[in-house]
Amino acid sequence: MKTLKHTFLIAFAIPFLLNIFLQPSSKASDRDNSRSLTRSKKDQVIFDRANQKFLNSNFEGAISDYNRVINNIPYDAVTHNNRCYAKYKLNRFNQALEDCNKAISINKNYAEAYDSRGDVYFALGNKDASCIDYKSAIKLNKNSRLAWINSQEGYWCRMKK
């Protein structure tokens, strides 16, 4: 069973994560306030560099670059979510939770932020909240494979209606 799970993660979850963190788009869609968000070329370069640092496990460096982008564009849900996950990787779960909440407050339809917050809640031991967020991510994005995997790993998620 464990081998099947790892095969599934390699085949589906890793490409999904790469798609999130290497996202080339400079626009955050579905903003609640209906304004489009466009990063300047300089901010996009910093954002891309932060994503590359994240992929190289340089989470402190990624956080530093995400901070720079957020200082220039405080309503960038994607950058808040990415910084959330970098903090999560450093076991700074309460700080990560703040960033996830900020990303969701900016864009209530951003499925990846719910998925990230589900991971943070799970790490904090709040399985019920993690299950709710994983299900929210799936509801917002039917193709959210990672949220589906996470919800299936927890017996509590499968049993809740």
Q: Which of 91, 88, 84, 87 is nearest to 110 (CA)?
A: 84
In a domain, 132, yes or no: yes
Q: What is the pLDDT of residue 141?
A: 82
- At residue 152 the predicted structure's pLDDT band, cuts being 50, 70 and 90, is low
In a domain, 74, yes or no: yes
Range of the domain at 87: 38-159
At 41-84, the pLDDT tens digits run 999 999 999 999 999 999 999 999 999 999 999 999 999 999 99
Torsion of CA 64, 67, 71, 74, to 10 degrees: 170
At 4-18, the pLDDT tens digits run 444 444 444 444 444
CATH number at residue 144: 1.25.40.10
In a domain, 13, yes or no: no
In a domain, 12, yes or no: no
In a domain, 142, yes or no: yes
What tokens does 111 get?
Answer: 């499925």
Q: How many domains does the chain have?
A: 1
* pLDDT, mean of residues 124-143: 87
- Tell me the whole-structure pTM to 2 decimals: 0.73
Which bin fits 72, alpha (ψ -120 to 50), beta or left (φ > 0)? alpha
Which bin fits 23, alpha (ψ -120 to 50), beta or left (φ > 0)? beta
In a domain, 16, yes or no: no
In a domain, 1, yes or no: no
In a domain, 9, yes or no: no
